[in-house]
Structure 1
Amino acid sequence: MTAQIFSERLKALRAQMDTHNIDGWIIGREDMYQGEEVPASDERLAYISGFTGSAGTAIVFTDHAALFSDGRYSLQMEKQTDAAAWSCHTMPDIDIGSWLKTQTLTGRTIGVDARLITLSAFDKLSAVMRESGLSLKAMAFNPIDMIWQDRPIAEVTPARTMANDIAGETIDSKLDRLADSLTDFGCDAVLLSRTDAVNWLANIRGHDLACTPVKLAFALYHRENGLIILADRQPMLPVLNEHMAVVPLEQLDELLEPIAGCDFMVDPASLPKAVHQVISDSGVNIVTAPCPVTKIKAQKNPVELDGFRKAHQIDGIVMAEFLCWLDHADVTQMRESALADKLLSMRATHPDFISPSFETIAGSGANGAIVHYRAVAGQDSLIQNNSLFLLDSGAHYRFGTTDITRTILIGDADAEMRRAFTAVLRGHIALARAHVPVGTTGMQLDTIARTPIWSAGLDYAHGTGHGVGHVLSVHEGPASISKRGSLSVSAGMVLSNEPGYYKTGSWGIRIENLIAVKAASTAGFIEFETLTMTPIDRRLIDKTMLSEAEIAWVDIYHQWVLSQIGADVSPPCQAWLINACAPL
């Protein structure tokens, strides 16, 4: 789209702001369910700015507009927005509060959609606004919806049941564990406002989002009255059973009337401000705490872990066939989006495939340095020769989820590429081989991965790893491997291991496998099981930079990959795989 189109949209938004006596408007990249992925009908930030990243916040005033996101999107923000209309800022280098203090805005009223901002986010942002002499007002309308004339209509899709032999635990068992958690907090009931928590608890999934197989819903659970899914009834009919009822969210106030006075738990980090107001008006005693389901579901049971392993074996076969094809095709005559489509079509042929687990990142050359680059047909680049191709992709299968990044050499590599790639590989190996005490935090693990990369004078702006849901969100809390990862990791968690390095304007490198946390043979320690089964590009490895132990890890990993998928790939791919997995 042209800058003129976005300019007209900004003008129309400002006219609506003027009509409603608002001096500014906050636009986040979220819907009321606060997941990382949102339906097309809720992509308000992209609609108004052109920025399509998975995280970001904009503030539009009558005479200027500012966009904020994290280091993953520094380049993308600048590339996708009109510099004449938007100023772009990378957090935490410049956050909203520090930027506001540089502006002359005292006395202005800033509006935000009460459905689309959480209670904790509203309170935090309101405090930030006050420091700059502004007031934040939660509104019951959204001016962008008033100007978005061709706004997509959300498709109504039915929920489906996640069978016990895939979930590994019955709803009864999960509800018992939730009840125990509420007892620990001294609470009688809870409003679950995280969609992935609701889906996991009720053993349901859905198709409301393109890459996250969930049914968008909240839930009310009372230790005596049971589970009520807060959603439209019709799409839930296929999964209704004796363990749950379904009531529209609009009737939440009626459900709360009989339990007025009870101790009622809410998660302020995910509860919409508008829903909190309904609960606050009901007469229950509100207790704020992190979602009790999040920590429970993060520790996968043995059946879920087996599902992950099975999914990675299927995905490993697909990736091997794709990389074999890539090596033999003249891809320099193809565009990035065509390669992403090719890989997706290969995954989709498997009968257990559900959907991609996120939109594929396929960045060639300089686009690979844009951490979360998205190749859009017609706007993407040809595959660059004598450069690097960064491919970050994944899939949901019926029993497990994958997320893998490989950096692939196209043509010939120079010494700088090999040096940077090998430094990143050393960081990846350091985390994969880590043997750490129980209670080790994500922050500590992040340092383990970065140290070999730092020693080469390199670094990266994103986290080293995120949690992964079981046929749910590919990015799952509560733990993360990052500079802000204050929570400890524990046995049963599935995380990513994805250090990288990005040379702006030239190329990007990332090596990502999924890992499962497991108890080590040494009492009181944990270690990691690598799940991903795909060769690492040996052509980019500078063996002289590796220790004997690191060389052994690469060789053992490749022989394991060959043993796991070698018999199931096509004959041409088998020859390619044997070569790709040859010892260093």
Structure 2
Amino acid sequence: MNIAERLAALRARLKELGVDGFWMPRTDEHGSEYLPPHAERVAWLTGFTGSAGVVIVLSETAAVLSDGRYTVQLERELDPALFERGNSVETPPSVWLSHRVKAGMRIGYDPRLVRKPEKAAMAKKLDTAGAELVALDANPIDLIWTDRPARPAEPVKAHPVAYAGEEAEAKTERMGAAVGKAGADQLLITAPESIAWLLNIRGADVPFNPLPLGFALLGADGHVRLFTDRAKLAGLDFGNRVAVEPYEAFEPALAELGNRGLR
């Protein structure tokens, strides 16, 4: 599909999902700036390859907003017949969208890609305009990206304590105690760099960064549940303080914790 066909396919999918538009920042489920190919959703949909940006798609219009670093790049890479271009600092996405929605409209978003303050700002603006922000179960771009690259599965290596400065077991015990002291049962970790530090590991899933992709839950007892592709960990021994689970098991694990009333 070319860019126009991709945009048309997305609009058709949004209609099937019962929403009138879609808002998505350029990031991944880990809040990354540098993205592996399978997470380059903005670039795939629009052609814009800058490292910062937001795409908004409505039934009759669409836009890509970025900061002043990418003014020229937006002009070069975007088809003006398909996408408006805008400065996200001068006109934040919530403002741009609030000026174009109508009362009763439902705007979808992927909750895995949006931070709490971003969601709050967008929901407030849309509410003022009489519109609603709707969390989608799946990213609609993923549903139409038929040749989407696979999630990276580069080998994970141990980071020697001589460079890390502290054994991973000591880190998990110390940080777990801090979790308990804060009155929580579990610490949710989505940032790959934090997981790499905590477990003294390094990887190559993220361009320009020695990081493995995954999620983790750190308990107050220092026990870690690591959610990543097992094949990447061949030859690594975490001992009994780390339980390795499939990447896809992360969201069900969160639901389980919620059902148990843990904090």
TM-score (norm 2): 0.89
- 2:76 corresponds to which residue? 79
In the alignment, is the contact (CA less than 8 A) between 1:68 and 1:96 conserved in 2?
yes
- 2:244 corresponds to which residue? 246
* CA apart distance, 1:154: 2.8
The number of aligned residues is 262
Over the matched positions of the two proteins, sequence identity in percent amounts to: 32
In the alignment, is the contact (CA less than 8 A) between 1:34 and 1:194 conserved in 2?
yes
After superposition, the Cα gap between the structure-2 partners of 1:188 and 1:20, relative to the gap in structure 1 and judged at 3 Å, is closer
Give the counterpart letter for 1:283 in structure 2.
G
In structure 2, how many angstroms separate the alpha carbons of the residues matched to 1:253 and 1:105?
Answer: 33
- Alpha-carbon RMSD: 2.3
Larger radius of gyration: 1
User: Which runs of structure 2 are paired with 1:177-256 in the superposition (5 Å)?
Assistant: 177-224=174-221, 226-242=223-239, 243-252=241-250
* CA apart distance, 1:278: 5.9
1:239 is paired with a residue of what secondary structure? coil
In the alignment, is the contact (CA less than 8 A) between 1:253 and 1:279 conserved in 2?
no
More relative contact order, 1 or 2 (CA 8 Å, 6+ apart): 2
User: Which runs of structure 2 are paired with 1:30-179 in the superposition (5 Å)?
Assistant: 30-179=27-176
After superposition, the Cα gap between the structure-2 partners of 1:68 and 1:165, relative to the gap in structure 1 and judged at 3 Å, is same
1:238 is paired with a residue of what secondary structure? coil
- 1:293 corresponds to which residue? none
* CA apart distance, 1:130: 1.4
Give the counterpart letter for 1:63 in structure 2.
E
* CA apart distance, 1:49: 0.9
In structure 1, how many angstroms separate the alpha carbons of the residues matched to 2:256 and 2:62?
Answer: 32
* CA apart distance, 1:59: 0.7
User: Which runs of structure 2 are paired with 1:428-447 in the superposition (5 Å)?
Assistant: none
In structure 2, how many angstroms separate the alpha carbons of the residues matched to 1:202 and 1:282?
Answer: 26
* CA apart distance, 1:253: 7.1
1:59 is paired with a residue of what secondary structure? strand
- 1:373 corresponds to which residue? none
In the alignment, is the contact (CA less than 8 A) between 2:153 and 2:231 conserved in 1?
no
User: Which runs of structure 2 are paired with 1:152-551 in the superposition (5 Å)?
Assistant: 152-224=149-221, 226-242=223-239, 243-252=241-250, 279-285=257-263
1:7 is paired with a residue of what secondary structure? helix
Give the counterpart letter for 2:244 in structure 1.
V
What 5-or-longer segments of structure 2 have no aligned partner? none
In structure 1, how many angstroms separate the alpha carbons of the residues matched to 2:116 and 2:53?
Answer: 18
Give the counterpart letter for 2:220 in structure 1.
R
Please list the CA deviations of residues 137-189 of structure 1 after superposition, one character each: whole Å capped at 9, or x if unmatched: 11112222232222222342221100111212211332243134324423332
2:212 is paired with a residue of what secondary structure? coil
* CA apart distance, 1:45: 0.4
In structure 2, how many angstroms separate the alpha carbons of the residues matched to 1:146 and 1:9?
Answer: 11
Please list the CA deviations of residues 394-422 of structure 1 after superposition, one character each: whole Å capped at 9, or x if unmatched: xxxxxxxxxxxxxxxxxxxxxxxxxxxxx
In structure 2, how many angstroms separate the alpha carbons of the residues matched to 1:64 and 1:225?
Answer: 50
In the alignment, is the contact (CA less than 8 A) between 2:126 and 2:132 conserved in 1?
yes
2:65 is paired with a residue of what secondary structure? strand
* CA apart distance, 1:131: 2.1
What 5-or-longer segments of structure 1 have no aligned partner? 256-274, 286-584
After superposition, the Cα gap between the structure-2 partners of 1:196 and 1:95, relative to the gap in structure 1 and judged at 3 Å, is same
